[in-house]
Amino acid sequence: SHLETYYHAITECDCDVVIGGYTKIEQSHTVSCMPKQNGIFGSEIWENICRDSSLYGYLWNKLFRLDLIRAHNLHLCETMYSQEDLDFCLSIFGVAERVALISCDSYQYFYIPGKRLPPFWDFIANQLKMLRIGKTRTELSNEVLSCVHKRILSLIYTGLYYAAERPDYDEVVEKIAQVDGLTQLLQNIPAKGEHGLVARNFVQGKYERIRWYFIIRNRIRDVVRAIRKTQS
């Protein structure tokens, strides 16, 4: 069974954490999501976590040693609206010595797209936590650092884009700006292209400029679409 597979893995491998895969079910579409590698990992697991945290951020495809959780007084963050599971997992990975990746997709994840607007500040906070802990456990490659930096820039861009024409835009800006360590990071990483433009203005506190940038950008987009529609 599903639980037996995880139990045998954590006892036979003498690991702190076991991570498996899952079956993602979205309407009539089914996909098997599995770890790209199997085996026992130490601190090098952080290269995988930072490169793509999707498999590592859920609770239901993992088994943890209870004494490890108790020893470090780890618990879910009750103040996070979303991604509290990734926050919890990052804390455990930060103290785990042995992590096992196994091929097991017996857990079924029924995915409902667009059921809520995500709190981008929680997403960004987890990416920064990922970098902070990962750097203490191993020397992250430039490729992986760049990958996380790009995700953070994309989250800032997307969060402000969706909030630009909403009445709570100022609130969203404030919550993103309050993410611990974000301003310092943005001041020290290269930011290119449209995402970089938004990030630079954000660091400089030019929030209204960003908002009007997105509003005007969307108006131009709507005009272009209307023209194309009349020409088709």
- Digit-coded pLDDT (tens) for 16-34: 999 999 999 988 789 999 9
- Contact between residue 2 and residue 104 where contact means Cβ atoms under 8 Å apart: yes
What's the average model confidence in pLDDT over 227-231? 87
pLDDT at 115 over 60: no
- 228 confidence band (pLDDT: 50, 70, 90): confident
Decide: pTM greater than 0.85: yes
**DSSP H/E element including 17:** strand 17-19
Give the β-pairing of 22-26 and 108-110.
Answer: parallel
Give tens-digit pLDDT for 125-176: 999 999 999 999 999 999 999 999 999 999 999 999 999 999 999 999 999 9
